[in-house]
Each structure stands twice: as structure tokens, then as C-alpha cells.
Amino acid sequence: MIYNVSPGNIGKKTTILVIDDDVSFLFGISRLLAKADFNVIAATEGISGIARAQAGHPDLILMDINLPNMTGFQVKKALESDSHTQLIPVVFLTTINDNSEINDGFSSENEYITKPVDTTILAARIKSILHKTKTANLPNPLAEIDQTTSFDRFKQWAYSVEMLDERAIGHTCRVANLTLALARSLGIVDEQMLDNIYKGAFLHDIGKLAISERVLNKPGPLNDEEWDLMRHHPTVAYDMLASIDLLKDALDIPHCHHERWDGLGYPNRLAGKEIPLAARIFSVVDVYDALTSKRPYKEAQSETETLKVIHSLSGKQFDPAIVENFLENFEALKKWAFQEPE
Ligand SMILES: [Fe+2]
Ligand SMILES: [Fe+2]
């Protein structure tokens, strides 16, 4: 049987699937998890648990070992053989007596939590396991990058930054397309140059791979030390990629996208046309997309409001000529960037 315990597996909340045949325990733990701000979905045996995992994409599964029909260990094996569910971390709920009947399945590679469950410990364990999983799945570009690394591989890293950041799903692709459209609108026709602009826009935040998830996902404002780390990401990108032939001419955006027209940006406080053209184009698009996107800490701003903000930053943060082109051609740019050609 399948239960919906908390309303909706939606938004960016962490979703936990609980599989346990003890219904009163199931409801109790689900209520505790919901109180600790997790979304909870649940099932009472293995088959429906697997179906729930496939359909609900939980971030983590909490599962009793001693289930009817299939043991928890067998369910875990089934989940690992399916590409949709194989990366979901599983934590077993154990009682003192579990080791008698199904001794064989116990392994030091599994994670266990003992019943009865203490809510504070449970929430802390879930967070630490999720953190470990995310970090383990992170690429290690410094170790992997060489002259043979493909652009697709770099794109995967850009997506993993987006995932890690968790605030910007879809942002990378949108800004790359809109930057290309704006570059064309400004009269850039050289295909090689356009290709470099596209690549650079796609990889603009790749230097964030060097920033810890704790800083990237910090719910409150960053302290001075954390801001220093954050401000380092354009330099990291440059240092990481400058020797790679495929990208050495595409680094103006990753390196200079936080510079400002008035010279108050970072990392090098460049001003005006000292800032490479590609970065001046990109920074308008980046801010436009950030303001019009919903993030966990803010609502999306309307397009009209956002265009007013962009206009107000002309000559301060942005190159006035680029802002003028962006605002004048805004509808056409969106069409070029996001719609199929007619
Ligand atoms: Fe950035
Ligand atoms: Fe961005």
C-alpha cells in the first residue's frame, strides 16, 4: 500500500521515502520528518516501495529491513539495478532483533539507524548522508581535465554546479542561449567568436566547483570569509581552464562575468571597455535571468520590473550600449533564444 503522508513532493524540500510495514511507526516517523521540514512519501512493503521510488524521485529512502515478501536488502538490490533509482541513498531502520533472521544482508557499506528513532539524530543523520552522497557524486575537474576533455564533459560539470547551487536549475542553458542571441543582435557575426561566447556563458560559474556546498547553499547571508571564497570563483575558472586549447579563448565570461562597468566588480575591478565584450554582454543576461527566476530565498520578479532594474543599472553595472540593445530588442531576443525558428 502507498501513502501520501505530507502534501506534495514539490519545491526544493528534501523528499524522504519511508518503507515500513508497521503502519503506526510509519505514520509516527513521517510526522516527525514532516515537522523537521522534509517532504515524506511512504510505502508498507517492497514492491510498492520500489514503485514509489521510481515515480517519486526521493532524495533518500529510509527502509525497514524486515519487510513482508522482500527483505529491505532485496529491495535495495532491486533499486540499485534500475538506473532511475540506483543513486538514491538508502538507510536501513533496524531493531535489536533484526540480526537473527537476515544476518546475511548486513554489510558495513550500508547505513543503519536504530529504532526507536530520535528525531534530532535522524534529521542530522539524513543531512549528513545527503551531503556525503552529493559530494561523492561531484566531479574532480582538476584531476580529470586535460586536452582531450570534451565540451560535453565540461557541460556536465556546469550542470553539476547548477545542481549543487540548487538555486538555479535551467539557468545555465537559458543564459547561454540568450547571450548568444544578444551577441548576434549587437552585430557579432564571427562564428568562432559566437562559439566561444556560447561556451563561456555555459561554463560561467564552473569555478564554483571549488566552493564548498556549505557556502553555496547557506540559507542566511554569507560572512566575510565566505564572500571571499565566493568571489574567488572567476579566478578559479580561469586558472583551471586557461591551458585547455578547447576553452582558452572562451574564458572571458567565466573570468570576467562579475566585473562591473563602474569598476566596482570582481575579481580585477576592471572598468568600462577594459571588461571583455563577451563578459559585458553576458552580465546583463545573467542578472536578467537571476531576477526573473524563483529561488528558495526569493520569488521571481516580473519581466517589467526586471527590465526597469536592468535599465537603472545602465552605466553602473552594465555597458549602456548593451543595455540599450537588450531593452530595444528584448522580445526578438527571447524569440531567437527560446523558440524554434518559424
Ligand atoms: Fe558567477
Ligand atoms: Fe549565473
> CA geometry: angle at 328 spanning 327 and 329, to 5°?
95
Say what the pLDDT of residue 10 is. Answer: 32
Q: Which of the residues 208, 294, 316, 334 is marked catalytic?
A: 208
Q: Is 91 helix (H, G, I), strand (E, B) or coil?
A: strand
Ligand (nearest to CA of 207): 1
Using the mean position of ligand 1's atoms as its centre, give its distance from the Cα of residue 334 in Å.
Answer: 22
Displacement of CA 64 from its chain's centroid (Å): 30
Using the mean position of ligand 1's atoms as its centre, give its distance from the Cα of residue 338 in Å.
Answer: 22
- Rounded Cα distance between 230 and 291, Å, is 19
Using the mean position of ligand 1's atoms as its centre, give its distance from the Cα of residue 230 in Å.
Answer: 8
Say what the pLDDT of residue 6 is. Answer: 35
Provide the b/e sequence for 103-131 (b: ≥16 CB within 10 Å): eebeeeeeeebeeebeeeebbebbeebbe
pLDDT tens digit string along 18-43?
Answer: 999 988 888 888 888 888 888 899 99
Residues in the chain: 342
Say what the pLDDT of residue 9 is. Answer: 31
Please state whether the predicted TM-score (pTM) of the whole model is above 0.75.
no
- Other beta carbons within 10 angstroms of residue 154's beta carbon come to 22
Say what the pLDDT of residue 253 is. Answer: 98
208 is catalytic: yes
Contact 307, 289 (CB under 8 A): no
Say what the pLDDT of residue 44 is. Answer: 93
pLDDT tens digit string along 110-135?
Answer: 777 887 777 777 888 887 777 666 55
Using the mean position of ligand 2's atoms as its centre, give its distance from the Cα of residue 131 in Å.
Answer: 23
Q: Which three cell numbers stand for residue 324?
A: 540599450
- Rounded Cα distance between 333 and 342, Å, is 14
- Rounded Cα distance between 65 and 73, Å, is 7
Contact 198, 176 (CB under 8 A): yes
Ligand (nearest to CA of 201): 2
Q: Where are the domains of the chain?
A: 2-137, 143-338
Around ion ligand 2, residues with a beta carbon closer than 5 Å are 286
Using the mean position of ligand 1's atoms as its centre, give its distance from the Cα of residue 204 in Å.
Answer: 6
- Rounded Cα distance between 60 and 57, Å, is 9
Starting at the earlier edge strand, list the strands of the sheet with 90-94. 2-4, 39-43, 15-19, 60-64, 90-94, 111-114
**CATH domain 143-338 topology:** Hypothetical protein af1432 (1.10.3210)
Measured torsion, CA atoms of residues 6, 12, 14, 19, in degrees rounded to the nearest 10? 50
Strands 60-64 and 15-19: parallel
- Other beta carbons within 10 angstroms of residue 139's beta carbon come to 15
Residue ranges in the chain modelled with pLDDT below 50:
1-11, 100, 342
- Rounded Cα distance between 319 and 275, Å, is 10
Using the mean position of ligand 2's atoms as its centre, give its distance from the Cα of residue 174 in Å.
Answer: 10
Say what the pLDDT of residue 2 is. Answer: 41
Domains 2-137 and 143-338 belong to one CATH topology: no
Question: Domain 2-137 is of which CATH architecture?
Answer: 3-Layer(aba) Sandwich (3.40)
Using the mean position of ligand 1's atoms as its centre, give its distance from the Cα of residue 229 in Å.
Answer: 12
The residues, any chain, with a CB within 8 Å of residue 156's CB and separated by 6 or more, are 139
* Mean pLDDT for all residues in the chain: 84
Say what the pLDDT of residue 160 is. Answer: 80
